[in-house]
Structure 1
Amino acid sequence: MFELTNYDETKVKNYELLLKQLEALISDEDNEIANLANASALLNQFLDKVNWVGFYLWTNDELVLGPFQGLPACVRIGYGRGVCGTAVKEGKTQRISDVHQFPGHIACDAASKSEIVVPLYKDGTIYGVLDIDSPIIDRFDETDQKYLEKFANLVESSL
């Protein structure tokens, strides 16, 4: 049985625990939507100072809203548009300290001030993105990026 544990260690140890929890959640499940839903709920429970955690899925040459935690969000995001579309276009994580300084930022929630978006791949092809918003400027650092990319890699293994 999966059990949530309190996160009261160092940031790195907390992330290591998070990865083990994700692995336990997805290891025996092959339904992609169920795994994405649990992954977004787990991240939302784990991360502090965030106001949106979720996935956009690549469908018919655009990103379409998938499982998430937070306020209602933009449903469709075009290739190269906003932080999420840029992550798909460039094929790499976008860690944005201040979204209001990002050219073409799409403001789904006016409270969001920083964002990190990690592209997801299935069989070498874009699958979607993991998107996390924060109401705090410069919320995400290199440690967050490193471990959120590892988190995304584990999610990819369940797709």
Structure 2
Amino acid sequence: MNQLFIQQAESLIDPSLPKISNLSNLLALAFYEYPDINWIGFYYCDNAKKECTLGPFQGKVACTRIPFHKGVVGTAAVQQKALTVNDVHCFPGHIACDSQTNAELVFPLIKEKETYAILDIDSLVLNYFDEDKIETFQAYTRLIQSILFNDKL
């Protein structure tokens, strides 16, 4: 695990700021710390409409709505589990918001048994997300959950 990255992320969290400020800084940190990441951001889940809508992100213009069951994000929203896709071009129903993306890692953020949001991380490099990066981004996701689900922030 990239402990230095996690420590940097922890140091950015400022309880006196709105959640969106903390989340935006965390996204910027990851985007610039990992140069092979071409997009990182959130999709908020509307469980009634069964769709994910674009939230804060770093990267190129993105798809604004992703239906549940569609693409990596929509699949993770339904399955409520992290997905690592080493080659997105082989993923059934992949949604190519950016044709340069080759690998994708997603983490659902679950609140009260419902998918609240999806952290979506895209890379230009096939097979980019090795065990070390997955472990690092699992810890990063826990930090994000501590911000999103903490009423004091």
Q: Structure 1 length normalisation: TM-score? A: 0.85
In 2, the alpha carbon distance for the partners of 1:28 and 1:20 equals 16
User: Would the aligned equivalents of 1:95 and 1:116 in 2 still touch at CA under 8 Å?
Assistant: yes
- Deviations for 1:88-112, whole angstroms, at most 9, x for unmatched residues? 1111111001000000000000111
Structure 1 counterpart of 2:12, from 14, 25, 31:
25
User: Would the aligned equivalents of 1:50 and 1:135 in 2 still touch at CA under 8 Å?
Assistant: yes
In 1, the alpha carbon distance for the partners of 2:126 and 2:19 equals 32
1:73 matched to 2:51: no
Change (3 A) 1:30 1:127: farther
Partner letter of residue 37 of structure 2? V
Unaligned runs of 5+ in 2: 149-153
Unaligned runs of 5+ in 1: 1-11
Structure 1 counterpart of 2:131, from 142, 151, 159:
142
User: Would the aligned equivalents of 1:27 and 1:158 in 2 still touch at CA under 8 Å?
Assistant: no
Structure 1 vs Structure 2: percent identity of aligned residues?
Answer: 42
- Deviations for 1:28-59, whole angstroms, at most 9, x for unmatched residues? 24522222211110110111211111111113
In 2, the alpha carbon distance for the partners of 1:139 and 1:77 equals 23
Q: Runs in 1 of length 4+ with deviation above 2 angstroms?
A: 29-32, 121-125
- Paired residues in the alignment total 146
1:111 matched to 2:100: yes
1:54 matched to 2:41: yes
In 2, the alpha carbon distance for the partners of 1:133 and 1:125 equals 24
Partner letter of residue 60 of structure 2? L
In 2, the alpha carbon distance for the partners of 1:29 and 1:105 equals 39
Q: CA RMSD in A?
A: 1.5
Change (3 A) 1:33 1:138: same
User: Would the aligned equivalents of 1:23 and 1:154 in 2 still touch at CA under 8 Å?
Assistant: yes
Q: Structure 2 length normalisation: TM-score? A: 0.88
In 2, the alpha carbon distance for the partners of 1:134 and 1:107 equals 12
